[in-house]
Structure 1
Amino acid sequence: MLEVYCDSSYNENGESYIGCVVLREGRQIHQSTTEVRGNPRNNLDCELDALDFAISLVRIFSKGDKEIVVYNDSTEAVKNFQGKAEGAEQEFSGSGISFEYIPREKMYQAAADSLSKKFPVFFSSTAMCSVESFSRREDILSDIARNKSSVFYLEKVLEMSSNKKTCYRLVVRTMEKILSDDRFYTIKKGGPGTQVKAAEEIRKDLSNPEVLSSLKSKGIRLENSYFLLTDETWGLRGTDSQACSILPLSIPHKIICDEVDRSPQNLFKRAERFR
Protein backbone atom coordinates (compact mmCIF):
# COMPACT_ATOMS: atom_id res chain seq x y z
CA MET A 1 0.00 0.00 0.00
CA LEU A 2 1.30 3.45 -0.94
CA GLU A 3 0.04 6.49 0.97
CA VAL A 4 0.69 10.17 0.23
CA TYR A 5 -0.24 12.89 2.74
CA CYS A 6 -0.24 16.38 1.24
CA ASP A 7 -1.03 19.85 2.52
CA SER A 8 -0.36 23.44 1.54
CA SER A 9 0.08 26.80 3.25
CA TYR A 10 -1.35 29.71 1.27
CA ASN A 11 0.56 32.97 1.60
CA GLU A 12 -1.27 35.91 0.07
CA ASN A 13 1.81 38.15 0.12
CA GLY A 14 4.56 35.75 -0.77
CA GLU A 15 5.48 32.20 -1.77
CA SER A 16 3.11 29.37 -0.88
CA TYR A 17 4.39 25.87 -0.19
CA ILE A 18 3.30 22.23 -0.34
CA GLY A 19 4.30 19.63 2.24
CA CYS A 20 4.18 15.90 1.47
CA VAL A 21 4.88 12.68 3.34
CA VAL A 22 4.97 9.35 1.48
CA LEU A 23 4.58 5.97 3.18
CA ARG A 24 4.85 2.43 1.88
CA GLU A 25 3.33 -0.27 4.09
CA GLY A 26 3.20 2.18 6.99
CA ARG A 27 6.85 3.24 6.80
CA GLN A 28 7.97 6.69 5.71
CA ILE A 29 10.01 6.71 2.50
CA HIS A 30 9.90 10.41 1.55
CA GLN A 31 9.11 13.90 2.82
CA SER A 32 9.40 17.19 0.98
CA THR A 33 8.60 20.90 0.87
CA THR A 34 7.86 22.33 -2.58
CA GLU A 35 6.83 25.78 -3.76
CA VAL A 36 3.31 26.09 -5.21
CA ARG A 37 3.42 26.72 -8.97
CA GLY A 38 2.06 29.88 -10.59
CA ASN A 39 0.10 32.50 -8.66
CA PRO A 40 -2.53 30.83 -6.48
CA ARG A 41 -5.53 33.04 -5.77
CA ASN A 42 -6.65 31.31 -2.60
CA ASN A 43 -6.17 28.33 -0.31
CA LEU A 44 -8.19 26.01 -2.58
CA ASP A 45 -5.83 26.68 -5.49
CA CYS A 46 -2.95 25.66 -3.23
CA GLU A 47 -4.66 22.47 -2.05
CA LEU A 48 -5.48 21.47 -5.64
CA ASP A 49 -1.84 22.00 -6.56
CA ALA A 50 -0.82 19.94 -3.52
CA LEU A 51 -2.96 17.04 -4.76
CA ASP A 52 -1.50 17.41 -8.26
CA PHE A 53 1.98 17.28 -6.77
CA ALA A 54 1.00 14.23 -4.69
CA ILE A 55 0.08 12.43 -7.92
CA SER A 56 3.51 13.27 -9.33
CA LEU A 57 5.03 11.61 -6.25
CA VAL A 58 2.85 8.55 -6.86
CA ARG A 59 4.36 8.37 -10.35
CA ILE A 60 7.83 8.38 -8.80
CA PHE A 61 7.28 5.98 -5.91
CA SER A 62 4.60 3.59 -7.15
CA LYS A 63 5.87 0.06 -7.74
CA GLY A 64 2.66 -1.57 -8.89
CA ASP A 65 1.05 -1.09 -5.46
CA LYS A 66 -2.45 -2.57 -5.46
CA GLU A 67 -3.76 0.24 -3.27
CA ILE A 68 -2.79 3.92 -3.43
CA VAL A 69 -4.36 6.53 -1.14
CA VAL A 70 -3.77 10.29 -1.35
CA TYR A 71 -4.81 12.29 1.72
CA ASN A 72 -5.60 16.00 2.08
CA ASP A 73 -7.41 18.05 4.74
CA SER A 74 -9.51 20.17 2.33
CA THR A 75 -12.93 18.57 1.73
CA GLU A 76 -13.50 20.72 -1.36
CA ALA A 77 -10.15 19.82 -2.92
CA VAL A 78 -10.60 16.11 -2.15
CA LYS A 79 -14.11 16.13 -3.64
CA ASN A 80 -12.68 17.69 -6.80
CA PHE A 81 -10.07 14.94 -7.14
CA GLN A 82 -12.45 12.11 -6.27
CA GLY A 83 -14.13 12.91 -9.59
CA LYS A 84 -10.79 12.27 -11.28
CA ALA A 85 -10.10 8.93 -9.60
CA GLU A 86 -11.20 6.85 -12.57
CA GLY A 87 -8.79 8.64 -14.90
CA ALA A 88 -5.98 8.28 -12.37
CA GLU A 89 -6.62 4.54 -12.11
CA GLN A 90 -6.20 4.26 -15.87
CA GLU A 91 -2.80 5.93 -15.57
CA PHE A 92 -1.70 3.63 -12.76
CA SER A 93 -2.84 0.41 -14.39
CA GLY A 94 -3.53 -2.39 -11.92
CA SER A 95 -3.63 -0.06 -8.93
CA GLY A 96 -6.68 1.22 -7.10
CA ILE A 97 -6.16 4.91 -6.29
CA SER A 98 -8.41 6.96 -4.04
CA PHE A 99 -8.46 10.49 -2.67
CA GLU A 100 -9.49 10.80 0.97
CA TYR A 101 -10.14 13.60 3.43
CA ILE A 102 -8.22 13.42 6.69
CA PRO A 103 -8.19 15.88 9.62
CA ARG A 104 -5.04 17.93 10.05
CA GLU A 105 -4.68 16.60 13.60
CA LYS A 106 -3.79 13.10 12.35
CA MET A 107 -0.09 12.40 12.68
CA TYR A 108 1.15 12.26 9.08
CA GLN A 109 -1.22 14.98 7.90
CA ALA A 110 0.08 17.17 10.73
CA ALA A 111 3.57 16.41 9.43
CA ALA A 112 2.58 17.44 5.89
CA ASP A 113 1.15 20.67 7.31
CA SER A 114 4.40 21.32 9.18
CA LEU A 115 6.44 20.71 6.04
CA SER A 116 4.23 23.12 4.06
CA LYS A 117 5.27 25.79 6.56
CA LYS A 118 8.94 24.87 5.94
CA PHE A 119 9.30 23.34 9.41
CA PRO A 120 11.44 20.17 9.47
CA VAL A 121 9.80 16.94 10.57
CA PHE A 122 11.71 13.93 11.91
CA PHE A 123 10.42 10.38 12.15
CA SER A 124 11.90 7.25 13.56
CA SER A 125 12.12 4.33 11.14
CA THR A 126 10.31 2.27 13.77
CA ALA A 127 6.55 2.16 13.72
CA MET A 128 4.74 4.14 16.41
CA CYS A 129 2.86 2.37 19.21
CA SER A 130 -0.23 3.41 21.13
CA VAL A 131 0.27 5.23 24.41
CA GLU A 132 -1.95 4.23 27.34
CA SER A 133 -2.65 6.48 30.29
CA PHE A 134 -2.22 4.56 33.55
CA SER A 135 -3.97 7.07 35.82
CA ARG A 136 -7.32 5.22 35.71
CA ARG A 137 -6.10 1.83 34.51
CA GLU A 138 -6.39 -0.55 37.44
CA ASP A 139 -5.28 -3.43 35.22
CA ILE A 140 -1.94 -1.74 34.45
CA LEU A 141 -1.35 -0.55 38.01
CA SER A 142 -2.23 -3.90 39.56
CA ASP A 143 -0.04 -5.75 37.04
CA ILE A 144 2.94 -3.58 38.01
CA ALA A 145 2.14 -3.90 41.72
CA ARG A 146 1.45 -7.62 41.94
CA ASN A 147 3.27 -9.32 39.07
CA LYS A 148 6.70 -7.69 39.37
CA SER A 149 6.43 -6.39 35.81
CA SER A 150 9.50 -4.55 34.52
CA VAL A 151 9.17 -0.81 33.90
CA PHE A 152 11.70 0.87 31.58
CA TYR A 153 12.36 4.61 31.55
CA LEU A 154 15.15 7.10 30.87
CA GLU A 155 16.76 9.64 33.18
CA LYS A 156 18.83 12.55 31.92
CA VAL A 157 22.29 12.56 33.55
CA LEU A 158 23.09 16.24 33.96
CA GLU A 159 26.71 15.84 35.03
CA MET A 160 27.45 13.83 31.86
CA SER A 161 25.56 16.17 29.52
CA SER A 162 26.67 19.40 27.82
CA ASN A 163 25.60 21.93 25.20
CA LYS A 164 26.65 19.50 22.50
CA LYS A 165 25.43 16.18 23.90
CA THR A 166 22.84 14.67 26.21
CA CYS A 167 23.45 11.61 28.36
CA TYR A 168 20.59 9.28 29.32
CA ARG A 169 20.59 6.51 31.91
CA LEU A 170 18.37 3.50 31.20
CA VAL A 171 16.54 2.50 34.37
CA VAL A 172 14.66 -0.78 34.73
CA ARG A 173 12.75 -1.41 37.93
CA THR A 174 9.86 -3.26 39.43
CA MET A 175 7.55 -2.20 42.22
CA GLU A 176 10.08 -3.44 44.78
CA LYS A 177 13.44 -2.24 43.49
CA ILE A 178 15.68 -0.99 40.71
CA LEU A 179 16.99 -3.95 38.70
CA SER A 180 19.34 -2.06 36.37
CA ASP A 181 20.60 1.52 36.07
CA ASP A 182 24.12 1.07 34.71
CA ARG A 183 23.54 1.50 30.99
CA PHE A 184 24.30 5.01 29.63
CA TYR A 185 23.66 6.51 26.21
CA THR A 186 25.40 9.74 25.17
CA ILE A 187 23.75 11.34 22.15
CA LYS A 188 25.05 14.27 20.09
CA LYS A 189 22.55 17.09 19.70
CA GLY A 190 21.40 18.24 16.27
CA GLY A 191 19.58 16.61 13.37
CA PRO A 192 16.74 14.28 14.33
CA GLY A 193 15.53 14.75 17.89
CA THR A 194 18.00 13.71 20.55
CA GLN A 195 15.38 11.54 22.26
CA VAL A 196 14.58 9.76 18.98
CA LYS A 197 18.27 8.99 18.42
CA ALA A 198 18.57 7.72 21.99
CA ALA A 199 15.57 5.44 21.45
CA GLU A 200 17.16 4.06 18.29
CA GLU A 201 20.41 3.33 20.13
CA ILE A 202 18.59 1.57 22.96
CA ARG A 203 16.43 -0.50 20.61
CA LYS A 204 19.62 -1.60 18.88
CA ASP A 205 21.09 -2.61 22.25
CA LEU A 206 17.94 -4.48 23.26
CA SER A 207 18.13 -6.47 20.04
CA ASN A 208 21.60 -7.70 21.00
CA PRO A 209 21.45 -11.24 22.51
CA GLU A 210 24.33 -10.48 24.90
CA VAL A 211 22.59 -7.39 26.29
CA LEU A 212 19.30 -9.28 26.60
CA SER A 213 21.06 -12.10 28.43
CA SER A 214 22.68 -9.62 30.83
CA LEU A 215 19.34 -7.97 31.61
CA LYS A 216 17.59 -11.29 32.11
CA SER A 217 20.34 -12.40 34.53
CA LYS A 218 19.31 -9.42 36.70
CA GLY A 219 15.75 -10.71 36.89
CA ILE A 220 14.38 -8.37 34.22
CA ARG A 221 11.42 -9.71 32.27
CA LEU A 222 11.23 -7.94 28.93
CA GLU A 223 8.05 -9.61 27.67
CA ASN A 224 4.87 -7.80 28.77
CA SER A 225 6.95 -5.01 30.26
CA TYR A 226 6.24 -1.27 30.23
CA PHE A 227 8.01 1.77 28.79
CA LEU A 228 7.16 4.84 30.85
CA LEU A 229 7.13 8.19 29.04
CA THR A 230 8.58 10.86 31.33
CA ASP A 231 9.48 14.53 30.82
CA GLU A 232 12.86 13.34 29.54
CA THR A 233 11.24 11.28 26.76
CA TRP A 234 8.08 13.24 25.99
CA GLY A 235 9.61 14.12 22.62
CA LEU A 236 9.05 10.50 21.54
CA ARG A 237 5.33 11.09 21.63
CA GLY A 238 3.52 12.07 18.44
CA THR A 239 -0.09 12.93 17.79
CA ASP A 240 -3.02 10.48 17.93
CA SER A 241 -1.70 9.12 21.27
CA GLN A 242 1.19 7.38 19.52
CA ALA A 243 4.83 7.24 20.53
CA CYS A 244 8.15 5.80 19.50
CA SER A 245 9.33 3.12 21.96
CA ILE A 246 12.81 2.38 23.28
CA LEU A 247 11.96 -1.35 23.18
CA PRO A 248 11.97 -3.33 19.92
CA LEU A 249 8.52 -4.13 18.56
CA SER A 250 9.48 -7.81 18.70
CA ILE A 251 9.20 -7.59 22.51
CA PRO A 252 5.55 -7.48 23.63
CA HIS A 253 5.19 -4.38 25.82
CA LYS A 254 3.08 -1.28 26.44
CA ILE A 255 3.93 2.41 26.41
CA ILE A 256 2.35 4.21 29.37
CA CYS A 257 2.24 7.76 30.65
CA ASP A 258 0.44 10.25 32.85
CA GLU A 259 -0.53 13.48 31.11
CA VAL A 260 0.17 15.66 34.17
CA ASP A 261 2.72 14.07 36.52
CA ARG A 262 5.11 12.13 34.28
CA SER A 263 7.52 11.08 37.01
CA PRO A 264 8.29 7.42 37.82
CA GLN A 265 7.46 8.26 41.44
CA ASN A 266 3.89 9.05 40.45
CA LEU A 267 3.50 5.70 38.70
CA PHE A 268 4.76 3.62 41.62
CA LYS A 269 2.83 5.71 44.14
CA ARG A 270 -0.39 5.01 42.25
CA ALA A 271 0.47 1.30 41.92
CA GLU A 272 1.21 1.01 45.67
CA ARG A 273 -2.45 0.70 46.65
CA PHE A 274 -2.84 -2.40 44.45
CA ARG A 275 -0.18 -4.44 46.23
Structure 2
Amino acid sequence: MFEVYCDSSFNEGEDSYIGCTVLRDGKQIHQSTTKVPGAPKNNLDCELEALSFAVTLSKIFSESDRDITIYNDSTEAVKVFQKEKPEIEKKFPDLSINFEYIPREKVNQAIADSLSKKFPVFFLNVPTCEVESFSRREDILSDIARNERNIFYLEKVDEKSTNKKTCYRLIIRTIDKILSNDRFYLIKKGGPGTQVKAAEEIRKDLSDPHFVSSMEAKGVRLENSYFLLTDETWGLRGTDNQTCSILPGSISHRIICDEVDRSPENLFRRAERFK
Protein backbone atom coordinates (compact mmCIF):
# COMPACT_ATOMS: atom_id res chain seq x y z
CA MET A 1 0.00 0.00 0.00
CA PHE A 2 1.50 3.30 -1.14
CA GLU A 3 -0.05 6.57 0.05
CA VAL A 4 0.71 10.26 -0.30
CA TYR A 5 -0.95 12.87 1.90
CA CYS A 6 -0.67 16.43 0.61
CA ASP A 7 -1.88 19.83 1.71
CA SER A 8 -1.07 23.48 1.11
CA SER A 9 -1.21 26.84 2.86
CA PHE A 10 -2.16 29.85 0.78
CA ASN A 11 -0.55 33.07 2.01
CA GLU A 12 -1.87 36.06 0.13
CA GLY A 13 0.91 38.40 -0.97
CA GLU A 14 3.57 36.03 0.38
CA ASP A 15 5.11 32.67 -0.49
CA SER A 16 2.76 29.71 -0.16
CA TYR A 17 3.83 26.17 0.68
CA ILE A 18 2.98 22.53 0.06
CA GLY A 19 3.31 19.87 2.74
CA CYS A 20 3.57 16.17 1.85
CA THR A 21 4.12 12.93 3.70
CA VAL A 22 4.62 9.61 1.88
CA LEU A 23 3.87 6.20 3.39
CA ARG A 24 4.56 2.65 2.27
CA ASP A 25 2.65 -0.07 4.12
CA GLY A 26 1.76 2.42 6.82
CA LYS A 27 5.36 3.50 7.45
CA GLN A 28 6.48 7.01 6.67
CA ILE A 29 9.31 7.20 4.13
CA HIS A 30 9.29 10.90 3.23
CA GLN A 31 8.26 14.33 4.49
CA SER A 32 8.71 17.60 2.66
CA THR A 33 7.79 21.26 2.58
CA THR A 34 7.94 22.87 -0.85
CA LYS A 35 7.23 26.36 -2.10
CA VAL A 36 4.21 26.62 -4.41
CA PRO A 37 5.54 27.62 -7.85
CA GLY A 38 4.37 30.75 -9.61
CA ALA A 39 1.89 33.15 -8.06
CA PRO A 40 -1.20 31.29 -6.84
CA LYS A 41 -4.32 33.45 -6.63
CA ASN A 42 -6.25 31.43 -4.10
CA ASN A 43 -6.33 28.31 -1.95
CA LEU A 44 -7.61 26.11 -4.80
CA ASP A 45 -4.59 26.98 -6.94
CA CYS A 46 -2.35 25.86 -4.09
CA GLU A 47 -4.24 22.60 -3.52
CA LEU A 48 -4.03 21.74 -7.22
CA GLU A 49 -0.27 22.32 -7.10
CA ALA A 50 -0.09 20.13 -3.99
CA LEU A 51 -1.83 17.26 -5.77
CA SER A 52 0.39 17.70 -8.81
CA PHE A 53 3.48 17.59 -6.61
CA ALA A 54 2.12 14.48 -4.87
CA VAL A 55 1.91 12.76 -8.26
CA THR A 56 5.56 13.61 -8.85
CA LEU A 57 6.52 12.21 -5.44
CA SER A 58 4.61 9.03 -6.27
CA LYS A 59 6.71 8.54 -9.37
CA ILE A 60 9.92 9.15 -7.40
CA PHE A 61 9.23 6.93 -4.38
CA SER A 62 6.85 4.24 -5.61
CA GLU A 63 9.58 1.76 -6.70
CA SER A 64 7.71 -1.52 -7.26
CA ASP A 65 4.41 -0.15 -5.98
CA ARG A 66 1.72 0.14 -8.63
CA ASP A 67 -1.45 1.05 -6.74
CA ILE A 68 -1.16 4.55 -5.32
CA THR A 69 -3.61 6.65 -3.34
CA ILE A 70 -3.15 10.39 -3.01
CA TYR A 71 -5.10 12.21 -0.30
CA ASN A 72 -6.05 15.88 0.01
CA ASP A 73 -8.54 17.76 2.19
CA SER A 74 -9.99 19.91 -0.62
CA THR A 75 -13.02 18.22 -2.20
CA GLU A 76 -12.90 20.64 -5.12
CA ALA A 77 -9.25 19.96 -5.91
CA VAL A 78 -9.70 16.20 -5.53
CA LYS A 79 -12.63 16.23 -7.98
CA VAL A 80 -10.47 18.03 -10.55
CA PHE A 81 -7.77 15.35 -10.34
CA GLN A 82 -10.30 12.51 -10.34
CA LYS A 83 -11.51 13.80 -13.71
CA GLU A 84 -7.91 14.09 -14.94
CA LYS A 85 -6.96 10.60 -13.72
CA PRO A 86 -6.99 9.00 -17.23
CA GLU A 87 -4.69 11.68 -18.65
CA ILE A 88 -2.36 11.49 -15.65
CA GLU A 89 -2.06 7.71 -15.93
CA LYS A 90 -1.14 8.08 -19.60
CA LYS A 91 1.95 9.97 -18.44
CA PHE A 92 2.68 7.29 -15.83
CA PRO A 93 1.51 4.06 -17.51
CA ASP A 94 3.04 1.84 -14.84
CA LEU A 95 0.97 3.40 -12.05
CA SER A 96 -2.66 3.23 -11.00
CA ILE A 97 -3.31 6.49 -9.14
CA ASN A 98 -6.43 7.19 -7.10
CA PHE A 99 -7.30 10.59 -5.66
CA GLU A 100 -9.30 10.66 -2.45
CA TYR A 101 -10.67 13.30 -0.10
CA ILE A 102 -9.69 13.02 3.56
CA PRO A 103 -10.54 15.32 6.50
CA ARG A 104 -7.70 17.43 7.83
CA GLU A 105 -8.25 15.97 11.30
CA LYS A 106 -6.91 12.55 10.24
CA VAL A 107 -3.39 11.96 11.55
CA ASN A 108 -1.38 11.79 8.32
CA GLN A 109 -3.32 14.63 6.72
CA ALA A 110 -2.73 16.72 9.83
CA ILE A 111 1.00 16.08 9.37
CA ALA A 112 0.82 17.30 5.77
CA ASP A 113 -1.12 20.36 6.94
CA SER A 114 1.52 21.12 9.56
CA LEU A 115 4.33 20.73 7.02
CA SER A 116 2.62 23.22 4.71
CA LYS A 117 2.57 25.85 7.44
CA LYS A 118 6.17 25.75 8.55
CA PHE A 119 8.99 26.00 6.06
CA PRO A 120 12.10 24.48 7.69
CA VAL A 121 14.44 27.09 9.10
CA PHE A 122 17.54 25.33 7.79
CA PHE A 123 16.41 25.88 4.19
CA LEU A 124 16.01 29.62 4.61
CA ASN A 125 18.64 32.21 3.85
CA VAL A 126 19.03 33.26 7.48
CA PRO A 127 22.05 33.13 9.80
CA THR A 128 22.20 30.20 12.21
CA CYS A 129 24.29 29.43 15.29
CA GLU A 130 25.03 26.30 17.26
CA VAL A 131 22.81 25.62 20.26
CA GLU A 132 24.44 24.78 23.59
CA SER A 133 22.70 22.92 26.39
CA PHE A 134 23.19 24.69 29.71
CA SER A 135 21.98 21.76 31.84
CA ARG A 136 25.45 20.45 32.70
CA ARG A 137 27.49 23.49 31.73
CA GLU A 138 28.74 25.11 34.90
CA ASP A 139 30.77 27.57 32.84
CA ILE A 140 27.62 28.93 31.19
CA LEU A 141 25.59 29.02 34.39
CA SER A 142 28.36 30.71 36.38
CA ASP A 143 28.94 33.25 33.59
CA ILE A 144 25.26 34.18 33.65
CA ALA A 145 25.17 34.41 37.44
CA ARG A 146 28.47 36.09 38.24
CA ASN A 147 28.81 38.41 35.25
CA GLU A 148 25.14 39.40 35.11
CA ARG A 149 24.91 38.48 31.45
CA ASN A 150 21.84 39.64 29.55
CA ILE A 151 19.41 36.89 28.58
CA PHE A 152 17.12 37.42 25.58
CA TYR A 153 14.01 35.32 25.02
CA LEU A 154 10.53 35.55 23.56
CA GLU A 155 7.22 35.05 25.30
CA LYS A 156 3.99 34.42 23.40
CA VAL A 157 1.25 36.86 24.43
CA ASP A 158 -2.08 35.10 23.94
CA GLU A 159 -4.27 38.09 24.81
CA LYS A 160 -2.68 40.16 22.02
CA SER A 161 -2.65 37.32 19.46
CA THR A 162 -5.41 36.74 16.89
CA ASN A 163 -6.45 34.00 14.48
CA LYS A 164 -4.19 35.51 11.83
CA LYS A 165 -1.35 36.95 13.90
CA THR A 166 0.80 35.82 16.81
CA CYS A 167 2.12 38.31 19.33
CA TYR A 168 5.54 37.87 20.94
CA ARG A 169 7.03 39.89 23.79
CA LEU A 170 10.80 40.41 23.79
CA ILE A 171 12.18 39.99 27.29
CA ILE A 172 15.72 41.02 28.22
CA ARG A 173 16.91 40.36 31.74
CA THR A 174 19.74 39.35 34.01
CA ILE A 175 19.53 36.71 36.70
CA ASP A 176 18.36 39.38 39.15
CA LYS A 177 16.03 41.67 37.23
CA ILE A 178 14.10 42.40 34.05
CA LEU A 179 15.70 45.15 31.95
CA SER A 180 13.10 45.35 29.17
CA ASN A 181 9.75 43.66 28.56
CA ASP A 182 7.71 46.30 26.74
CA ARG A 183 8.61 45.44 23.14
CA PHE A 184 5.91 43.50 21.26
CA TYR A 185 5.98 41.91 17.80
CA LEU A 186 2.68 41.08 16.08
CA ILE A 187 3.58 38.59 13.36
CA LYS A 188 1.35 37.30 10.56
CA LYS A 189 0.93 33.53 10.59
CA GLY A 190 1.86 31.35 7.62
CA GLY A 191 4.72 31.21 5.13
CA PRO A 192 8.16 30.59 6.59
CA GLY A 193 6.73 30.55 10.13
CA THR A 194 5.88 33.19 12.69
CA GLN A 195 8.94 32.50 14.82
CA VAL A 196 11.31 32.99 11.89
CA LYS A 197 9.57 36.24 10.97
CA ALA A 198 9.69 37.44 14.58
CA ALA A 199 13.41 36.68 14.74
CA GLU A 200 13.95 38.68 11.56
CA GLU A 201 12.08 41.70 12.95
CA ILE A 202 14.04 41.61 16.20
CA ARG A 203 17.37 41.34 14.37
CA LYS A 204 16.40 44.44 12.39
CA ASP A 205 15.65 46.34 15.60
CA LEU A 206 18.89 45.22 17.23
CA SER A 207 20.78 46.43 14.16
CA ASP A 208 19.24 49.90 14.47
CA PRO A 209 21.56 52.28 16.41
CA HIS A 210 18.61 54.30 17.75
CA PHE A 211 16.88 51.19 19.07
CA VAL A 212 20.12 49.90 20.57
CA SER A 213 20.69 53.26 22.30
CA SER A 214 17.24 53.11 23.86
CA MET A 215 17.99 49.60 25.12
CA GLU A 216 21.37 50.61 26.50
CA ALA A 217 19.66 53.42 28.40
CA LYS A 218 17.72 50.70 30.23
CA GLY A 219 20.95 48.94 31.15
CA VAL A 220 20.87 46.35 28.37
CA ARG A 221 24.26 44.99 27.32
CA LEU A 222 24.25 43.21 23.98
CA GLU A 223 27.80 41.90 23.87
CA ASN A 224 28.40 38.44 25.35
CA SER A 225 24.69 37.97 25.88
CA TYR A 226 22.60 34.81 25.57
CA PHE A 227 19.53 33.93 23.52
CA LEU A 228 17.46 31.39 25.45
CA LEU A 229 15.56 28.97 23.24
CA THR A 230 12.18 28.23 24.85
CA ASP A 231 9.05 26.35 23.82
CA GLU A 232 7.85 29.56 22.16
CA THR A 233 10.90 29.64 19.86
CA TRP A 234 11.63 25.93 19.46
CA GLY A 235 10.55 26.24 15.81
CA LEU A 236 13.74 28.22 15.12
CA ARG A 237 15.79 25.04 15.40
CA GLY A 238 17.10 23.52 12.21
CA THR A 239 19.42 20.58 11.62
CA ASP A 240 22.86 19.72 13.01
CA ASN A 241 22.06 21.55 16.24
CA GLN A 242 21.79 24.87 14.40
CA THR A 243 19.29 27.58 15.31
CA CYS A 244 18.17 30.87 13.82
CA SER A 245 19.01 33.59 16.35
CA ILE A 246 17.02 36.69 17.26
CA LEU A 247 20.30 38.59 17.68
CA PRO A 248 22.35 39.80 14.69
CA GLY A 249 25.49 37.89 13.84
CA SER A 250 27.51 41.06 14.44
CA ILE A 251 26.74 40.85 18.17
CA SER A 252 28.81 38.39 20.17
CA HIS A 253 26.33 36.02 21.83
CA ARG A 254 25.51 32.37 22.46
CA ILE A 255 22.32 30.36 22.06
CA ILE A 256 21.35 28.08 24.93
CA CYS A 257 18.54 25.70 25.79
CA ASP A 258 17.54 22.75 27.92
CA GLU A 259 16.22 19.69 26.07
CA VAL A 260 13.64 18.91 28.77
CA ASP A 261 12.61 22.06 30.64
CA ARG A 262 12.97 25.03 28.30
CA SER A 263 11.46 27.60 30.66
CA PRO A 264 13.39 30.72 31.71
CA GLU A 265 12.63 29.77 35.32
CA ASN A 266 14.65 26.58 34.91
CA LEU A 267 17.66 28.50 33.63
CA PHE A 268 17.65 31.08 36.42
CA ARG A 269 17.00 28.43 39.07
CA ARG A 270 20.05 26.48 37.93
CA ALA A 271 22.21 29.61 37.66
CA GLU A 272 21.19 30.86 41.11
CA ARG A 273 23.54 28.48 42.93
CA PHE A 274 26.54 29.99 41.13
CA LYS A 275 26.01 33.53 42.42
Shift of 1:18: 11
Distance 1:196 1:236 in 2: 6
2:63 — aligned with what? 42
User: What pairs up with 1:73-152 in 2 under 5 angstroms?
Assistant: 121-123=119-121, 124-152=124-152
In structure 1, give the amino acid aligned to 2:196: V
2:252 — aligned with what? 252
In structure 1, give the amino acid aligned to 2:63: N
Shift of 1:239: 2.2
Instruction: Report whether the alignment pairs 1:174 with 2:174.
Output: yes
> What SS is found at the alignment partner of 2:269?
helix
In structure 2, give the amino acid aligned to 1:179: L
1:218 — aligned with what? 218
1:153 — aligned with what? 153
Shift of 1:20: 10
Deviation sequence 1:190-214 (CA, Å, 0-9, x none) = 1111111110111111110001111
1:236 — aligned with what? 236
Distance 1:156 1:18 in 2: 28
Shift of 1:240: 1.6
Distance 2:30 2:169 in 1: 41
Q: 1:40 and 1:263, CA in 2 relative to 1: closer, same or farther beyond 3 A? A: closer
Q: 1:17 and 1:269, CA in 2 relative to 1: closer, same or farther beyond 3 A? A: closer
Distance 1:221 1:121 in 2: 32
Q: 1:10 and 1:201, CA in 2 relative to 1: closer, same or farther beyond 3 A? A: same
Q: Is the 1:170–1:182 Cα contact (8 Å) retained in structure 2?
A: yes
In structure 2, give the amino acid aligned to 1:207: S
Distance 2:131 2:31 in 1: 30
In structure 1, give the amino acid aligned to 2:269: K
Q: Is the 1:149–1:225 Cα contact (8 Å) retained in structure 2?
A: yes
> What SS is found at the alignment partner of 1:201?
helix
Q: Which moved more, 1:155-164 or 1:222-231?
A: 155-164
Distance 2:265 2:31 in 1: 44
Shift of 1:36: 6.6
> What SS is found at the alignment partner of 2:184?
strand
Instruction: Report whether the alignment pairs 1:271 with 2:271.
Output: yes
Shift of 1:219: 1.3
CA RMSD of aligned residues (A): 3.0
Over the matched positions of the two proteins, sequence identity in percent amounts to 65
Q: 1:198 and 1:159, CA in 2 relative to 1: closer, same or farther beyond 3 A? A: same
2:82 — aligned with what? none
Distance 1:39 1:148 in 2: 54
> What SS is found at the alignment partner of 2:181?
strand
Q: 1:213 and 1:39, CA in 2 relative to 1: closer, same or farther beyond 3 A? A: closer
Q: Is the 2:227–2:254 Cα contact (8 Å) retained in structure 1?
A: yes
Distance 2:171 2:163 in 1: 23
TM-score by length of structure 2 reads 0.59
Q: Is the 2:33–2:120 Cα contact (8 Å) retained in structure 1?
A: no
Distance 1:18 1:182 in 2: 39
Deviation sequence 1:208-254 (CA, Å, 0-9, x none) = 00011111111111011000001111111112211100000110100
In structure 1, give the amino acid aligned to 2:154: L
1:4 — aligned with what? none
Q: 1:177 and 1:42, CA in 2 relative to 1: closer, same or farther beyond 3 A? A: same
In structure 2, give the amino acid aligned to 1:268: F
> What SS is found at the alignment partner of 1:256?
strand
Distance 1:162 1:252 in 2: 34
Q: Is the 1:10–1:42 Cα contact (8 Å) retained in structure 2?
A: no
> What SS is found at the alignment partner of 1:268?
helix
- Give the aligned length: 182
Deviation sequence 1:14-46 (CA, Å, 0-9, x none) = xx999799xxxxxxxxxxx69379788738xxx
Instruction: Report whether the alignment pairs 1:204 with 2:204.
Output: yes
Q: 1:37 and 1:239, CA in 2 relative to 1: closer, same or farther beyond 3 A? A: closer
Q: Is the 2:144–2:175 Cα contact (8 Å) retained in structure 1?
A: yes
Deviation sequence 1:91-113 (CA, Å, 0-9, x none) = xxxxxxxxxxxxxxxxxxxxxxx
